[in-house]
A and B are shown apart, each in its own frame.
Chain A
Amino acid sequence: DAGVIQSPRHEVTEMGQEVTLRCKPISGHDYLFWYRQTMMRGLELLIYFNNNVPIDDSGMPEDRFSAKMPNASFSTLKIQPSEPRDSAVYFCASSLRPNDYGYTFGSGTRLTVV
């Protein structure tokens, strides 16, 4: 298995632009998570899906952030419009059964908003 695949690995964009981050979970994993990592706040859960349905989006910072999972093999995290304070590393993770196996993380997308 190729693991959790995220793209792009790095993204540099100008303030005000739309940014879309992509994630392909491990095949068969029913859970998908989006995390954000910053020096100040560490790892924060933004949103997670179970069977393609958003279950908890209470960690999404504000309306500029949105996430979708149109099918079991693909999810996007969109920021529109982007701001410099959105600069962070965004991780996607997936799991078959979190309580039994924990999560498998992707390599992350480093986002820089200038």
Chain B
Amino acid sequence: AQSVTQPDIHITVSEGASLELRCNYSYGATPYLFWYVQSPGQGLQLLLKYFSGDTLVQGIKGFEAEFKRSQSSFNLRKPSVHWSDAAEYFCAALKYNNNDMRFGAGTRLTVKP
């Protein structure tokens, strides 16, 4: 079955530290991959997306993600976290020519001062 897994429910990092949020997908063929961020009481904002080509994708707010086909992963990274990055992060996948975007369960990021 098609699914997106985010193994970490909650992550805490110190401000200025690096961040990596994990995402794995299970699809027959490589889907389109997305990372969204949700601040409390807000909708989901698109951070970045991967369709094909360069496996390192740059997004907004200083985020990047790396697609690794061999590991079926699409991990999100940021070199130096800011307090304003505290939010919930969702990985999502969309099968080609299909409009049912599947979301992971989300990872809640807490940033310590």
Contact = CB atoms under 8 A, between A and B. Distances in A.
Contacts of B49: 101-102
Contacts of B41: 107
A102 B46 contact: yes
Interface residues of A, number: 23
A98 B42 contact: no
Nearest to A91: B43
A99 interface: yes
Given A99-B94, A99-B96, A102-B94, A45 B101 contact: yes
A48 B92 CA distance: 17
Contacts of B45: 105
Interface in B14-31: none
Given A45-B101, A48-B99, A102-B94, A91 B44 contact: yes
Q: Is the interface of A mostly helix, strand, loop or mixed?
A: strand
Interface residues of B, number: 23
Nearest to A49: B99
Contact of B99 (A91, A98, A106, A108): A98
Given A42-B106, A43-B90, A98-B94, A103 B43 contact: no
A113 B13 CA distance: 36
Nearest to B6: A42
Contact of B43 (A31, A99, A108): A108
Contact of A31 (B90, B99, B103): B99
Interface string A24-60: 0000000101000000001101001010000110000
